[in-house]
Amino acid sequence: MKDFNSYLNETEEIGYVEQVADAIIYVSGLPKIKPEEIVIFETGDFGQVFSIEPETVEILIFSKNPIKPGTRVTRTNEILKIPTGYELLGRVIDPLGLSIDTIKPMKSPVKTMPVNIRPAGITKRRTITKTLETGVLIVDLAIPLGHGQRELVVGDRKTGKTSFLTRTILNQTARGNICVYAAIGKKKLDVKKIEKFFAKQGVLDKMVIVASGSEDSTGLTYLTPYTAMTVSEFFRDEGKNVLLVLDDLSTHAKFYREIALLGKRFPGRNSYPSDIFYAHARLLERSGNFTTDKGEASITCLAVAETAQGDLSGYIETNLMSMTDGHLYFDKDLFYLGRRPAINPFLSVTRVGRQTQDNLRREITREIMSFLNLYEKMQSFVHFGAELNDNIKMTLATGAKIINFFTQYTNDVMPLNLQIVLFSMLWGNLWGLGQLTKVKDDMQKVIKAYQTNKLVKDQIDNLVTNDSFNKLIGIIKVEGPKLLKTIQANEK
């Protein structure tokens, strides 16, 4: 962008700072100012028009540099745009598109895109038909997601939400998709940890991190998710499937509340402004499955929200639930019981994920949810001990194996075909009443063989071509023991 004097000569309009209220600056003058226009102060700082009053203009400032009353301001006749391009891959940028990492200097992208645009209309959207694999067993098998879905990831602090998100990013980058991670109001140390983690995993060059720190201005933090969405839209227009993670919108809502209160907006519930729903809805509505000039492409949005004491009825949480296509609830009680991930399948919802499944996976999802429901009911009979009948004992034993099967730790990612075959082996009672450790050890051997032995991989992938779960179980009962023997023989 040009300097203050250049813009002043172009627009021939000048204003003066009348009042400063932290992130909000009140300016007089500038008679032809437009909503969302960028203004420049004589100090070189930029801001965006937040609202226009009869006598003054409210400006949202993007820097923390102190602005004094009397400072001159001029229009730029431009809206906020950020540089976008493949040059952003592997970089950490701020909400204005400037590199903030310590890697070599970034080549500035040639193309720029507006940060705030209207969501695409219905004619450019397509039905969500492709499954998005997260690599997380309980999600892929019981609460499936689709490319272009907007899913809320909700739960208390420290319940494993970030582990799930990083695992999903690793799985998607391995499939050649682009990932955009928005770190909203995070500490610099946390952003650095995220950058180092993905660099260590070798996937940083397939993703973009848009970060604002707790030390940045309120206005800059507010912009973060919108910038991340704009970056995602660039790659979508290039024909890429994009996974966008917004971490987190609860923090974003608090910053927007601060801006609104400074701007003397009338406070509503929990002191949030009346348009907080609109602020998030216009953001999330920009994701979906689209038709582009380069074919069908999608933006899958995983929006994070933080609950307090497991309360799902909070204002921001319920707002986000109503504007997304489902939610994954990370239950603190399950987390304390040692479940990893601590996703509660009964309180989690996917509204479009099941339409992406074929008949086999749909049957598996139905069986899992039905059995888990039965297993939860049977838990109340555990205290009867030896008095339990054989059916209840079998249900409890199978349930323990399935819960153990769903347990995954950080970076443990599993392909969908392998998930289906392993679950079928478990469901077909291939291990009988074997110990959980024996079952887990055998499964780890199958996973390792799938990753390293092409013959085993092809054999497992061919099993999943069946369109019926019952047929697959019948085949697994015959082929499963042979598969285990082959793997054990190869180990020797």
113-128 pLDDT, tens per residue? 999 999 999 999 999 9
Measured between alpha carbons, how far is 264 from 421 in angstroms, rounded to an integer? 59
Mean pLDDT of 394-417: 87
| DSSP tag of 267 | P
Task: Over range 292-301, report the average pLDDT.
Answer: 96
Predicted confidence (pLDDT) per residue in 186-211, tens digit = 999 999 999 999 999 999 999 999 99
How does residue 58 score in pLDDT terms, banded at 50, 70 and 90?
Answer: very high
pLDDT at 433: 65
Domains of the chain: 4-79 (2.40.30.20), 82-356 (3.40.50.300), 361-491 (1.20.150.20)
Higher-confidence residue: 335 or 101? Answer: 335
- Cα 157 to Cα 131, 418, 469: the distances in Å are 28, 31, 38
pTM over 0.85: yes
- What average pLDDT does the segment 138-151 reach? 97
Q: Provide the terminal-to-terminal Cα distance of the chain, rounded to the nearest Å.
A: 66
Under 8 Å between Cβ of 204 and 90: yes
Q: Which residues contact 116 (CB under 8 A, 6 or more apart)?
A: 36, 79, 80, 226
pLDDT tens readout for residues 458-477 = 999 999 988 899 999 999 99
Residue 41 is encoded by which pair of tokens? Answer: 């102060």
Any idea which residues carry the catalytic annotation? 351
HSE-up of residue 142 (Cα within 13 Å, Cβ side):
25
Contacts of 171 (CB under 8 A, 6+ apart): 133, 134, 135, 413
For residues 194 and 180, what is the distance between their CA atoms, to the nearest angstrom?
Answer: 12
Structure tokens at 238: 């290039």
CA distance 179 to 201: 14
pLDDT at 384 over 80: no
**What pLDDT, on the 0 to 100 scale, is given for residue 492?**
63
**Range in 165-174, 230-239, 267-276, 388-397 with the lowest mean pLDDT:** 388-397
Percent of the chain with pLDDT over 70: 99
pLDDT at site 434:
65
Question: Band of the pLDDT at 395, cuts 50, 70, 90?
Answer: confident
Q: Which percentage of the chain shows pLDDT scores above 90? A: 81
Q: Per-residue pLDDT tens for 424-433?
A: 999 988 887 6
Mean of all residue pLDDT scores within the chain: 93
| Dihedral sign (CA 332, 333, 335, 336) | positive
Alpha carbons 366 and 373: distance in angstroms, whole number:
11
